[in-house]
Structure 1
Amino acid sequence: MGNGEAGLKRNEITEDGLRVLVETFYAKVRQDPAIGPVFNAAIDDWPEHLEKLQAFWSSVTLGTGRYKGRPMPAHIKHADSISAASFERWLALWAETSGELFEAGPAAALQDKAGRIAESLAMGMAFHRDPDAALGLTRRAARTAWRPAEAD
């Protein structure tokens, strides 16, 4: 129920749902005034790229192993064009699109996964730009996250 029928939200993540999500989302990205120019300058063959993205999302959400690429080097090439605001806009469009196409549970799972991926890419780009500064951020984050157990 809700999977594949026009106008109804999908209640589970499937290959077909991911295909629709990726196509719908990147149609929005390409038209977006903030991040569209970055993506359109970086991607020459959109149909091929969409296939790669569908395989990526299939792998990370369904565990299919279809994606065999390396996303970090692909994004590092464009690090000078991608800002924190770019990631925020990308995540906002992803949340909007996944929320339009999926019920709350699957939409939240997709949004959580996207947030983790964006965080990982952002950290990789920060490390690429300034390894010492990025290492300091990572150490501060680790110190903040790790708290020794209180002695009883």
Structure 2
Amino acid sequence: MRNIVCLTFITAVLLLTACSKDKKSERFRLLTTTAWINESVLVDGEEPAGDWDFLNEFSGEAKFNEDGTGNFGNYTGQWRFNETETEITITTETIPLPIVTRIIELTSERLEISTVTLNPQNPSETAEITMIFKSR
């Protein structure tokens, strides 16, 4: 009888913890609540040009969906936070490597991210890419 009571209690605890929804963090809520409109894309502090002109395709709108999918300018893909929610990793079928961005600022009005990436035309060259968005 004691075993049945213990087993019932353990089962109830497991069911209650398994059924509780994960609480979404403030950063998750801020990122996924709105669409983000691109205000600027900078390459080492300047407008993209030459080999970096492809970055202009990121202009427009970014939408981070709660299910981890999203639209990033002309690209569609997946996104995820790192464990401390200080970085966002974006993957798309169009770009062969994941893009890992550092979050500089995330508020209800503004998103600023930065990443260092290789120049696709000259792989020995890198640049810091900064993107600034405002909420829609």
TM-score strictly above 0.5: no
Q: Which of the pair is proportionally richer in helix?
A: 1
Q: Could you tell me the TM-score, scaled by structure 2's length?
A: 0.29
Q: Could you tell me the TM-score, scaled by structure 1's length?
A: 0.27
